[in-house]
Structure 1
Amino acid sequence: MLIGRAAELAELTAALERAAAGSAGVVLVSGDAGVGKTHLVSALTAAAADRGCAVLVGQCAELGESMPYLPLTDALWAAAHAGTPEAEEVRAALDARPALARLLPDGEGGPGAGSELGQQQLFGAVLGLLGELGDERPVLLVLEDLHWADRSTRHLLTFLSRVLQRERICLVGTYRSDDLHRRHPLRPVVAELLRLPNVTGVEVRPFGRGETARYLAELARGSAPVTARTVERVHRRSEGNPFYAAELYSSGLDVGDDGAAGLPSALADLLLSRIERLSDAGQRVVRVAAVAGRRVDDELVRVVAGLDEATVGEALREVVSHQLLVPSGSGYTFRHALLREAVYADLLPGERTRLHADFARLLSGLPDGTRGSAAELAHHSLAAHDLPAAFAASVRAGREADRLAAPAEAYEHYDRALELWDAVADPEAAAGTDRMRLSLAAARASARAGELRRAVHRLRRVLAAADPADVLLGCLLREHLAAYLGDIDEDVESQAVAREAVAMLPADPPTVEHADALATYARTLMYRDAAGEMPGYAERAIETAREAGATGAEASLLVTLGLYRESREADTGVAEVFARAHELAAAAGDSSMIAMRAAFHHARTKFDRGDLAGAVRAADAGVKYAVDNGIVWSTFGIVLRSLRYLVHYTSGNWAEAGRLADEFAVQVVRTPEAQVSAYALFLEVAQGAPTVEERLRWIAPLWGQDGFVNYLARGLAAEHALWRGDPDTAAEHIRDVLDTVYIETVGAIRIAATGLWAEAERAARARAAGDDGALRAARETGDMLLRIARSVVAVNVDGEPRAWLGWEGQGWLARAEAERRRLDGVHDVELWRRAAELFTYGDADGGFVYEVARSRWRLAEALAENGERDEAAVQWRAAVRAAERLGAGPLLGALRDLGARARLGTGRAGAAPRTGPSGPLAALTGREREVLKLVAEGRNNREIAAALFISPKTASVHVSNILGKLNVSSRTQAAAVAHREGI
């Protein structure tokens, strides 16, 4: 019976119902130890099973960071071997996903499982499995005791919390809030996740007095009634903690007012009093189980207990009947982890050591490769002070974690082994490697875990201690160090170290190691090539890689050479270079990151050259490769998906772009999420979606931490502000972007053009207000922005002439030129015509559909001002049709305003709806209301004429008529009426 948890269960059930309806959610259930989190979640799992949901439950263990993905393993293993309808589905889904199957006790790690992409593969496989199960029925995934979660499990929790959106999945995690001390690794994770809109927190609070009474009455059912005095004392001493209360009540101890007996503040004594009621054999079994850990294997506990079969069987039945151990699968779990902790703490030091040694001896006899056995063996051996065994097991555990794509855990195992290196005899024989190469393995694991600076620090120390005569090792160390230095932007040292690595090995005969070093050095030359050696060097390195059979190095060099030439030469064949690199890397099997990098640049190059159909095909192929290899959420997997979105956005297929944008969650916690989320702003800003403000609020805290996020998000925030009529805010965004973006890059042209749009609006306001100072400032800023745009075309990042500029870049440059003229109050027809033509990418019916429409908006305005009303109407109608088809609300509003002012839309699609005025404005014609609006803005007759495409004399007549109809004597009084009436 569930007591006092109706609200909490209702919240959990609501999350499950939302998930069943297609809105995935995460619920983090917190509370003190013993407060009833597991009981609450058990009620939810029972309800979910009754509703036909697939239920997967896994638990974490108090084993530190030594067993990655333990709760996931538990959940999958239990679900696959349960007698439920979905067990067969789970087994089939696991068979189709080797990355998950190898987690299970009978799983095997395949070649390359320890690659840098392993974790992304695993995460993608988890997401795919859950999504597949969710297609059949709603899924409830419960991860219990997250305060004991290993680092990889915490990363998995974070990943799922961020990416689950429309899947029929409800993820529930429980953790002890009283365990989350200030430095607890779960604490920042919880703080971050609770910021996400699809993550909710449910706090399980202690019982109130009435709830304690009901709880004790339930416990006492069938025996003597619980007295009010007992309820009061139990409640006071337990402070409403159900587990404490149950233990106090069940112990039969007197919990008097003085607190002398029972000691509820010392829970261990209370728990141990229940252990003492067991037989000697029962107590022995409980002590053995406490050393084993959170979950006890039946066979192991029977052996380590040292009792005959009949005695140990009877002892286990006794312990289970007292609800100290609960049957679970092929073993047992403690009824509550606090019970296990109390028993373990009560063991004598020698007894504890001997039991750990017994478990280590049994584990050492298990077949090699048994899932988790090496990590457990290392744990028990270390606790048993068997350092040689702990050392060897730590090395094996590190390699197992590498295979399971758990680099953080691999690093910790390797690091422990290195700490024990000097304490064991013949460590090289036990480890199967020397100290330097084990240190290299630790550094590589550290780097894969994202701890690049730690990897650099370790490699520097290893290099200092390495034998200079071992040139192969020296080359390997330097090649990795150079790569990691480059990743943390230590470019000068990176290039110097890479050059040393190349020099250490002879060029003849060609070797894979030498080719890898050449490839790393070539990458350092990308932006530091004062001697101009890059092209010839890379070509020679490619020949060396081919002779050595170093396919991965060859593919990497092809990508690097292609990128280098693309920025310096009008090389029309660069797309084929990237395609070839992708084929090579994909065929190599162990170069998936290089393959993804090549696939991205292949699609991106086609996109830059205006081949949108080819870009879609290339991006689709790259994404398919990512899906097939389980790396959709790797860095280049995300970038490729973002590029695919941009191609559809550019080509005007906004329905598909919107579908893809749904994957770009609004919520943002870290820089990668901000980068992905910012892409969705392209569509949202263009459509005037209400989610723009929310997305910007999520991204804002991070846009100052990453140049690309700042460029993308604030550049689009500037456009959003301009559509809302706020050029000052837009200009502020542009200034900030220019402070952080490399102004030599092509992306700076778009920022400059957007900034010029803002300055043109500010200049118009300054002219209307007669503010010469503001007008002068706008012109100065506009000149600076135009210089930036032109300089991008003039030189590349090395200050050399840029070989070519793609269609989009040329279009933005033309727009920048046109906006600078508009800043001076001149609507230049030919400049706007050129911008519109360039954005077609040479295809009158294609190209960048939205930007063509935006350019036609300004072109129509310029044509109307210059008296070419027929062509203005043609351009205007074409822009309206595009804006309506795309759903580009802000642009459509601007076009309707232009159509009304220039009388382009009368009786045609896109004409602004008209409603009859009331009050003082009832006597005014439509045109007079337009004039009054401009009068209220402070415009003079000449400026009114320019805005409405009429002569100054006609504007003067309209103003006179307005003054008469409103019965006012001045423009100021007319403006006051306009403001009062909401114009």
Structure 2
Amino acid sequence: MGSQKVQSTLVGRLLELDRLVAVLDSAAGGTAGVALVGGDAGIGKTRLVTELAERAREAGFAVLTGQCAELGDALPYLPLADALRGAEGELRAALDARPVLGRLLPGSADGGPESASGLTQQQLFGSMLGFLAVRPVLLILEDLHWADQSTRDLVVFLSRMLQGEHVCVVGTYRTDDLHRRHPLRRVLAELKRLPSVTSVELGPLDRGEMTDYVAVLGGTDARVIDQVVGRAEGNPFYAEELLEAALGGCSMPDGLADLLLSRAELLSDSAQRVLRGAAVAGRKVAHDLLQEASGLDDLDFEESMREIVSRGLLRPSGDGYTFRHALLQEAVYTDLLPGERTRLHAEFARLLTAREGAAAELAHHYLAGHDLAGALAASVEAGRRAERLGAPAEAHRHFEQALGLWDRVADAERLAGSDHGRLAMRSAAAAADSGDNHRAVAQLRRLPASAEVNERLAYCLIDADDEEGAIAAAQAAVEAADEPPVLARALATYARALYWTERHDEVEALAVRALETARASGATDAETSALITLGSLAALAADIPRAKELLGCAAAERSGDLAIDLRAIFQYARVQYESGDLAEASVTVDRGLRLAHETGLDWSTFGTDLRFLRLLIHYVAGEWDAAEKVAAGFGIRAGTSAEATLSSFALFVEVARGLPAVEERLSWMEPFWSDDVLVSYMGHGLAAEHALWHGDPEGALGHVHAALDALYPHDPGVVRLGATGLWALADLGRAAEADAMLERARVPTVVGPGSGIRGPMGPEGMAWLARAEAEWHRAHGRSGTDAWRAVVEAFDFGFVYEVARSRWRLAEALLADGDREGARREWERAVETAGSLGARPLGEALAELGRRARFTAAQPGLLTGREQEVLALVAEGLPNREIGERLFIAQKTVSVHVSNILGKLGVSSRTQAAAVARREGLL
């Protein structure tokens, strides 16, 4: 009775609701957000998010709600599967188009590969991101304190990657369940640091709110209300139970568990039996399953259920029932006698086995029912299903549980369908796929040595940067291999382990042997891996035609392993790009991006690497609008090194265009500069350029030295950093330091092939070295005209922006040499490029040079027809909006034209442009 009133009336919590509605409103406006709602059991979390869901529906959001269960840590993605069942309309079509998500739904085919794949989870995460972007969605995940690790990882992923989607994610959790080592504690601490995450903590209602709440429940007697309010201590659920007991003529027990059980004890014997069965089943239970477990006939079961439902203990839900509150289920379950609990678990295991129920649920009931053989078989099957669903952490947990039972069960190998060693290897692979490389290595080292074990151990140790251990394990794998496919994989892994070591010269022979063995035995994954290694070796040796041939072969066919296929395509595109073949690289990258998208791997390691390469190609080719569009997908907020790396890619265009996002992006990246070499190189290097454009060469030099300190002396990134540092030293006039900086920049170019460090520099690297040498001349007060002309030629393989930037310096050098006409030609070409790219800092530098040199745009043809139209309206004093309306073009396009005009006229303001235009007769 009272509970129905509560469902329609929210008492208190208005401030908390306002905070949640603010997150929802932001999502409606295109800024995705996450809210975490915490509080003690019964404090009103569900009621609050139910109110939010109503507001969301009124605002046009689709609402998807999923709930964790107490055994949910064994059931991968349980709340997500629960939520996806509610998908309708556009969302249902989007779900049907994403099979990896469809596998989560009840009744779907398992699908997926039989063996573990580290990419399956990434596919699922990427698919979920795309699914949520279809339309405005409120996704509610309740009781996250019971969530499995894969669900927790998904919440973290969504919190970080959702940016401009119309999506609001809300998670609830019990604060009183979070003991010191609870796995959700670390996740909450991580998420609450993100600006996209709003934390809402529900405390007890105050006395006035509690009084109102009890009145809404149906309390009318002032004495009873006062007793309830005094005893409930601000907890709405406790108050509801206390009032129910008082109105039912019962005494009010001291503890909540006793109070809940006192209501259950009022049931008939048959109804209590049903309720106890429901408690063993969990928070939710199907009608037919519960009836069979109760042993009652149809009529008796229906009467018992009517009695239970009428007292508000269970509620109908779909084709079954749910407990009104998790606390009630916990109280009834805890009150069961040990023998009673074991018997009921065994009965549910028997019934679920006959129904082919969820393997994880079966394993839970078998174990609780002391059927160890059944638990072992179900655990292995649950692990296999978790693999196929992309839940490696849960797969590892189930496999470990089976291995723990192995010696206590007769005929374990038959029950598991696998021998102990292979199951242990599968468990280790699942641990590695879940990111727990340390556990995977420890588990593999405990196994009896074999070729397969050592090959997998070497693979894990390569990822763990244990060079010595990886080499030893790979060598042992090669020596022990007695089957050609195993030998091929061992040889390919051995070659990878040696690639960056002092034994680099041994790699080619091993890779050739791996390739021959793989082709003879049909081990396509090992064949592709060997081709990638050989192609990379050829690139290091500057044999670009051979490198392209080998990597082209690797990228042309599917090996059966998506990770290897994407790696092959990326390496092929990388060599094409680094050799200056931008058009070829574009085609290859786009093919890789299509494969990543079609397989749901946009956010996998190589999926993001391919997008970065796509951005670089756009950037170098002068396609900056396209580059900026790619960069927009990386987001600014960074909470991990991987995210900081992604964020740093966007800086290329943002710094070159002088966009306001640069400062914010750098501030988010800064905490990771000391932890990650690539983030340090990208962040410090581009922060240095940003500082130079803003007249701070001293600050730029600090960034350069910080980045150089993080790199190995032979790293190719040293060349670009050295050139940037020499730019700063030239601006400061510090010639002596410039000598040392140039020597440092030259180091990577003198290391030849076969060193295990790097091979000859590509055209871009050599162009940066030419830039460094030209800046060295400037630091020594020389014009360096020939040096700057060499820089222009070196970057002319297709690097549009750097050619323009080099022409700027060449124009300065020509002016210093007295060649005014030559300087003007270079200046005009640079101005044209800077304007077309929207390179504002370069455009301003060119405008300053134009003012000093007294260059004007009076010569015919320098302004385009459209620019002349825009200039005429600028001279009339019209703002960009009105100019756009007059000429029927976008305001942003007008802004680009105005920037071009200012650069070409060598001025810095619209007023100056109008004055020059009148003076030169351009109007």
The residue number in structure 1 matching 2:705 is 735
Offset, 1:678: 0.8
Confirm whether residue 902 of structure 1 aligns to residue 853 of structure 2: yes
Select which of 15, 25, 28 maps to 2:33.
Answer: 25
SS for the counterpart of 1:250 is helix
- The answer to whether the 8 A contact 2:555-2:568 is kept is yes
**SS, match of residue 37 in structure 2:** strand
Asked if 1:816 is matched to 2:772, the reply is: yes
Distance in structure 2 (CA, Å) of the matches to 1:717 and 1:186: 36
Q: Normalization by structure 2: what TM-score?
A: 0.89
2:236 counterpart of 1:242:
yes
Given candidates 14, 18, 21, the residue that maps to 1:6 is: 14
Q: Is the 8 A contact 2:287 2:321 kept in 1?
A: yes
Partner secondary structure for residue 907 of structure 2:
coil
Query: Which of 836, 843, 848 is residue 792 of structure 2 equivalent to?
Result: 836
User: How far apart in 2 are the matches of 1:745 and 1:323?
Assistant: 69
User: Are residues 809 and 230 of structure 1, via their aligned partners in 2, closer, same or farther at CA, if it must alter by over 3 Å?
Assistant: same
- Cα shift at 1:290: 1.2
Q: Distance in 1 between matches of 2:720 and 2:808?
A: 18
Check if 1:695 corresponds to 2:665: yes
Matched residue SS, 2:370 = coil
Q: Distance in 1 between matches of 2:336 and 2:591?
A: 60
Work out the CA distance in 2 between the residues paired with 1:206 and 1:802.
Answer: 63
Q: Is the 8 A contact 2:494 2:510 kept in 1?
A: no
For the residue of structure 1 that corresponds to 2:468, the secondary structure is: helix
Equivalent of residue 143 in structure 1, options 131, 141, 150: 141
C-alpha change, 1:796 and 1:411, in structure 2 (3 Å) is farther
Letter of the aligned partner of 2:743 in structure 1? R
Q: SS at the partner of 2:198?
A: strand
Partner Cα separation in structure 1 for residue 514 and residue 93 of structure 2: 46
| Structure-2 residue corresponding to 1:485 | 461
**Which of 717, 720, 742 matches 1:786?**
742
Alignment of 1:424 onto 2:409? yes
* Of 601, 604, 625, the match for 2:574: 604
Which string of whole-angstrom CA distances, capped at 9 and with x for unpartnered residues, describes residues 214-264 of structure 1? 2112111xxx6242x5444433432222112222222218999xxxx7355
Which amino acid is the alignment partner of residue 813 of structure 1?
Answer: L
Mapped to 1, the partners of 2:731 and 2:260 lie a distance apart of: 75
Q: Which moved more, 1:569-578 or 1:609-618?
A: 569-578
Kindly provide the amino acid, as one letter, of the partner of residue 713 in structure 2.
I
Alignment of 1:104-115 (within 5 A): 104-112=105-113, 114-115=116-117
Offset at residue 6 of structure 1 (A):
2.9
Rounded to whole Å, the distance in 1 between the matches of 2:527 and 2:329 is 56
Three-state SS of the structure 2 residue aligned to 1:307 is coil
Aligned to 2:452: 476
Q: Return 5+ residue gaps in structure 2 as ranges.
A: 1-8, 859-900, 917-923
Structure 1 counterpart of 2:553, from 555, 580, 585: 580
Please tell me whether the aligned partners of residues 896 and 905 of structure 1 are also in contact (alpha carbons under 8 angstroms): no
Measure the CA separation in 2 of the matches of 1:520 and 1:16: 49
| 1:262 aligned to which of 252, 255, 260 | 252
Q: 1:885 to 1:226 in 2, by over 3 A?
A: farther
**Residue by residue, what CA displacement relative to the aligned partner does 1:836-893 show, whole Å, maximum 9, x if unpaired?**
221121xxxxx22221222122112222222222222222222222222222222222
**Cα distance in 2, alignment partners of residues 797 and 708 from structure 1:** 23
* Partners of 2:500 and 2:757 within 8 A in 1: no
Q: How does 1:615-634 map to 2 (within 5 A)?
A: 615-634=585-604
Distance 1:531 1:31 in 2: 58
Classify 1:322/1:802 alpha carbon distance in 2 versus 1 (closer, same or farther; 3 Å).
closer
SS at match of 1:55: strand
Alignment size in residue pairs = 860
Within the candidate set 704, 723, 726, 2:696 is matched to 726
- 1:871-924 Cα offsets, whole Å, 9 max, x none, are 22222222222222222222222222222233235777422346999xxxxxxx
Q: Is the 8 A contact 1:320 1:326 kept in 2?
A: yes
| CA distance in structure 2 between the partners assigned to 1:816 and 1:170 by the alignment | 49
CA apart distance, 1:74? 0.8
Choose from 371, 394, 403 the match for 1:409. 394
Name which of 653, 663, 678 aligns with 1:708.
678
Instruction: For 2:326 and 2:14, locate their aligned partners in 1 and report how far apart those are by CA, in whole Å.
Output: 25
The equivalent residue for 2:378 is 393
**CA contact under 8 A between 2:847 and 2:908: conserved in structure 1?**
no
User: Which residue of 1 is the match for residue 245 of structure 2?
Assistant: 251
Aligned to 2:883: none
Q: Secondary structure at the match of 2:133?
A: helix
| Matches of 1:757 and 1:307, distance apart in 2 | 86
Alpha-carbon contact 2:35-2:197 (below 8 Å) kept: yes
What residue identity is the alignment partner of 2:747? Answer: S
> SS state of the match for residue 666, structure 1?
coil
Letter in 1 for 2:785: V
Match of 1:337 in 2: 326
Taking the aligned partners of 1:254 and 1:328, their CA distance within structure 2 comes to 26
The residue that corresponds to 1:511 in the other structure is 484
Match of 2:423 in 1: 438
- Look up the SS of the partner of 1:485 in the other structure: helix
2:364 corresponds to: 379
Partner of residue 653, structure 1: 623
CA distance in 2, matches of 1:120, 1:916: 54
Question: 1:128-160: CA deviations, max 9, x gaps?
Answer: 22223x1xxx22211111111100101111111
Question: Does 2:727 match 1:754?
Answer: no
Residue by residue over 1:395-447, the C-alpha shift from the partner in whole angstroms, topping out at 9 and shown as x without a partner, is: 11111111112111111111111111111112112112221111111111111
Secondary structure of 1:742 counterpart: coil
Task: Verify the 8 A CA contact 1:21 1:168 in the aligned structure 2.
Answer: yes
Separation of aligned partners in 2, 1:103 and 1:916: 63
Aligned Cα RMSD in Å? 2.4
SS of 1:112's partner is coil
Instruction: Name the counterpart of 1:855.
Output: 806
* Letter paired with 2:816: E
In structure 2, what is the equivalent of residue 967 of structure 1? none
Per-residue Cα deviation, 1:765-823 (whole angstroms, up to 9, x for no partner): xxxxxxxxxx4xx623x333212221211114754897642221111101111111222
Query: Percent identity at matched positions?
Result: 52
Distance 1:340 1:322 in 2: 14
Of 68, 92, 107, 1:60 maps to 68
1:683-734 Cα distance to aligned partner (Å, 9 max, x none): 1211222222221222121221111111111211222222222223222222
Which residue pairs with 2:610 in the alignment? 640
Structure 1, unpaired ranges of 5+: 80-85, 467-473, 765-774, 842-846, 918-925, 927-983
1:554 aligns with 2:527: yes
Q: Name the SS of the counterpart of 2:447 in structure 1.
A: helix
Q: How many angstroms apart in 1 are the aligned matches of 2:581 and 2:769?
A: 20
For residues 945-960 of structure 1, the aligned pairs below 5 Å read none
| Aligned with residue 132 of structure 2, among 124, 130, 133 | 130
Asked if the contact 1:253/1:262 (under 8 Å) is kept, the reply is no
Q: In the aligned structure 1, how far is the partner of 2:420 from the partner of 2:587?
A: 48
Deviation per CA, 1:734-760: give whole Å up to 9, x if none: 222222212212222111111222222
